[in-house]
Amino acid sequence: MSIRLVQAKREDMKTIWEMQIEAFRGLLETYQDYDMSPGAEPFEKVLARFEQPWTVYYFIVAEDVNVGVIRVVDMKDGSRKRISPLWIMEEYRGKGYAQQAILAVEEIYGPDNWSLDTILQEKGNCHLYEKMGYHRTGKTEKINDRMDIVFYEKG
């Protein structure tokens, strides 16, 4: 089953925020990172990100259902493009949608010069990004006793 990306509009942001809160709820409960988890962000912060001229949010759509969201940050100044965040709703995980979404944004923005970060303790996330050609930069950031953030680059 292949996906397509549909660029989000301002009026979609409430839906995206609600999806984000739901998608990250489990991670928020596990890691208790209330200061930085997408699962704890107020709507205003998500809307402010959407308003940035260098940000584009896309719905990840499979069989006419929004199965997730990917946000691309592209400053268009030669700096690394960034995926932050990317999520698949729980009931649609494990079907390859995240991989397809990464390939789709690389098709739009070019396959090189990307960065992202994820939770080091989430081995599935790390495996996904490494499988997609991202490599660890060597930088990690301790968030709390339960959680570290690991940084990746590609190309």
Q: What is the DSSP letter of 96?
A: S
Domain residue spans in the chain?
4-154
Superfamily of domain 4-154, CATH level 4 = Gcn5-related N-acetyltransferase (GNAT) (3.40.630.30)
At residue 54, what is the residue type? W
Q: Nearest Cα to 152, choosing from 138, 140, 136?
A: 136
Q: Are 37 and 24 in contact (CB under 8 A)?
A: yes
Judge contact between 110 and 72, C-beta under 8 A. no
Q: Structure pTM?
A: 0.96
Q: Are 7 and 56 in contact (CB under 8 A)?
A: yes
Which residues are paired to 69 by β-bridges?
59, 87
Q: Please state, in angstroms and rounded to a whole number, the distance separating the CA atoms of residues 8 and 18.
A: 14
24-33 pLDDT per residue, tens: 999 999 999 9
pLDDT in tens, 65-99: 999 999 999 999 999 999 999 999 999 999 999 99
